[in-house]
Chain A
């Protein structure tokens, strides 16, 4: 007898497609948050599948800190052109220029936190009632309890202790005027699932995920990319190393790992053997034990 069974990747994809179609049906003006990182690339890829042969019925939004890896921006523009999507850029630099945000100072200055202001501003300006993100529950402990459909009040805040129960696959996107939702279609994916899916679907990703020679320096055990955005101490000399990035965030807070994995297959092997989580390279999470929760409550991704 034929077995009517999906593989785990097929089932995760079917779930994500279902969630994205619910977004299109339940919200008037959704947007897909697109950073050029692998998770948002996957969500955009699945969105393409969900609405094919029509185009993705919502714009892509990039909250741009201005402190990017150049490779990511090249990739972003190329990707958007290929799928024929509409790209909206929310600029952190502009928020700073307008006096809405104040730049952090010092050696560990980062625009990571400032993204929240720009994100909420962009949502308000374009009257988006839903922002789709690529967050996964396995990434970070505050995200382990996140819903697929996550309610945000009129200040964009998350109330983790008072979340709506989410039963079966029935998603409640009802809200009052001024409130919005964050929706996470790949909540149930792990880092391994993401890489296996990239391999299976032959999805293009920014080159900095693969091992390459890079000018870097070491700060508190984390390998940071040398760039104009980061002030190096005298005790932090630059050197060349063979590295790759496990996550791509703002260049000021994303660390690299030493790696020879220059193909997706090798990355999968590396992830399988890895002994630290992918966000272990993110200094933004290390500011305190509940750093992620605190940022999320304020309206972070």
Chain B
């Protein structure tokens, strides 16, 4: 009958994957319409939800049902008709479960998009076919690249308003390709759509026979996400040490954590950082039994064949592939606070399972996120600014470049007086 029903067929859910994607856009570029279409066609909007927002929309005098009301649940948002924060929406098809991080286009744009995109596999960037690339398109693309989102899908929307013209599509596509070549985006797709009429969203458009590519939904369901995690460099940040101290598990010492990269196998030779002691993996334990291997993003518990003093913040890696160990880091920073950053200021840092302090040593340049130009004469960093800075930490961090590993290459900066998270850092 519909997608959701197939979803429940015997055991089919045991093969479903999870895809996290983010959407970014301003009020009138058709983002709500697009999300609405995806939710409708996967039967993910419930009758009582729909009736409630239909009622609210009518009361406010909106001509159409405003789908943003589905998640704009906070009183202030409903009153002011704005989205304050990243909103998460969920839907599923028989193939995949989807988590949408929907970020608002106007206030605190950068802060929200950085937050919403930080765990995304894929970014959908909407381009109005009538206007082509505008400043906002560049901004979205740059942030997607900065956050290392593996897949970017440009939806050239409102094709119905340009007579479904192949020429318009190809011109915009060419411009986008030129712009993206200046950035590090691994996998780019272009889909001509009309979110309003449903062309190429879930169903293939009959009005654009010249387009031989996939629909948006086909891409979302089939894009290869198996390589989005790093499966090369073995990294296991120790999160918690498990010591049952029961009769049955008297001498058990397990190192609990989530694999941040690579494939760990039972019997592997490993080195524990920062101490440098070596051992071999005795077992990879879970509640459901021991495993022969573990990879990102699995949560497991490792036991080693040697008795070594290991605690939270240590990292288990392979002897011939080790992370960078340093107190001096260059970081692309997105500033999230309305308090300015202080050159020479001291902040707390969280990086993998480590807590350290740092001092801001240098602010090298800011980036104009609309033009990608470096700004070297104005180094005052305010909320939503992106800048390259140098920091020195109180003790060495064990890290990889963000472009190599999003887990071991990311950190957050915390104001020690307010405990607020004030900065997001991607290690260069």
Interface assignment of B343: CB less than 8 Å from any CB of chain A = no
User: Judging by beta carbons under 8 Å apart, are B348 and A141 in contact?
Assistant: no
User: Judging by beta carbons under 8 Å apart, are B119 and A169 in contact?
Assistant: yes
Measured between alpha carbons, how far is A176 from B240 in the docked complex, in Å?
23
Interface assignment of A200: CB less than 8 Å from any CB of chain B = yes
Contact of B412 among A6, A172, A289 (CB under 8 A): A172
Interface assignment of B73: CB less than 8 Å from any CB of chain A = yes
User: Judging by beta carbons under 8 Å apart, are A18 and B258 in contact?
Assistant: yes
The 0/1 profile, CB within 8 Å of A marked 1, for residues 271-290 of chain B is 00000000000000111100
User: Judging by beta carbons under 8 Å apart, are A4 and B226 in contact?
Assistant: yes
A contact residues vs B (CB 8 Å cutoff): 3-15, 17-18, 21-22, 24-25, 48-55, 137-138, 140-145, 160-161, 163-172, 174-176, 187-188, 190, 192-193, 196, 200, 265, 268-269, 271-277, 280, 289-290, 292-294
Known: A51-B242, A277-B46. 16 other contacts (CB 8 A): A7-B13, A8-B13, A9-B14, A9-B16, A11-B18, A49-B286, A138-B90, A160-B74, A165-B115, A167-B410, A168-B410, A169-B119, A172-B414, A188-B90, A272-B5, A277-B48
Contact of B92 among A140, A176, A192 (CB under 8 A): A192
Interface assignment of B364: CB less than 8 Å from any CB of chain A = no
Do A168 and B242 form a contact, CB below 8 Å, given A6-B298, A7-B15, A174-B419?
Answer: no
Interface assignment of B374: CB less than 8 Å from any CB of chain A = no
Residues on A with C-beta less than 8 A from B96 are: 8
User: Judging by beta carbons under 8 Å apart, are B243 and A54 in contact?
Assistant: yes
Do A145 and B419 form a contact, CB below 8 Å, given A7-B14, A8-B18, A192-B92?
Answer: no
Closest to A146 in B: B88
User: Judging by beta carbons under 8 Å apart, are B244 and A54 in contact?
Assistant: yes
The 6 residue pairs across chains A and B that have the minimum distance between CB atoms = A141-B73, A49-B287, A17-B299, A54-B244, A8-B18, A174-B419
Measured between alpha carbons, how far is A141 from B85 in the docked complex, in Å?
12
| Stretch of B137-145, B195-203, B212-220, B245-253 lying at the A interface | B245-253
Contact of A277 among B49, B78, B242 (CB under 8 A): B49
B contact residues vs A (CB 8 Å cutoff): 1, 4-5, 7-8, 10, 13-18, 46-49, 52, 56, 70-76, 78, 84-90, 92, 96-97, 99, 111, 114-115, 118-119, 225-226, 229, 231, 239-240, 242-246, 248-249, 252, 254, 256-258, 263, 285-288, 295, 297-299, 301, 312, 336, 348, 350-351, 353, 406-407, 410-412, 414, 419-421, 424
Closest to A16 in B: B299
User: Judging by beta carbons under 8 Å apart, are B421 and A167 in contact?
Assistant: yes
Residues on A with C-beta less than 8 A from B119 are: 168-169
Closest to A45 in B: B287
Measured between alpha carbons, how far is A63 from B284 in the docked complex, in Å?
37
User: Judging by beta carbons under 8 Å apart, are B48 and A196 in contact?
Assistant: no
Residues on B with C-beta less than 8 A from A51 are: 240, 242, 256
Residues on A with C-beta less than 8 A from B420 are: 164
User: Judging by beta carbons under 8 Å apart, are A50 and B87 in contact?
Assistant: no
Residues on B with C-beta less than 8 A from A265 are: 10
User: Judging by beta carbons under 8 Å apart, are B421 and A142 in contact?
Assistant: no
Measured between alpha carbons, how far is A166 from B421 in the docked complex, in Å?
8
User: Judging by beta carbons under 8 Å apart, are B424 and A167 in contact?
Assistant: yes
Q: Can you list 16 A-B pairs, Cβ within 8 angstroms, ordered by A?
A: A4-B226, A4-B229, A4-B231, A7-B18, A8-B92, A12-B18, A21-B256, A21-B299, A24-B240, A142-B74, A145-B74, A161-B74, A165-B421, A167-B118, A275-B47, A276-B46
The smallest C-beta distance from B399 to any residue of chain A, in angstroms, reads 13
Residues on B with C-beta less than 8 A from A3 are: 226
User: Judging by beta carbons under 8 Å apart, are B299 and A170 in contact?
Assistant: no
Contact of B410 among A166, A170, A271 (CB under 8 A): A170
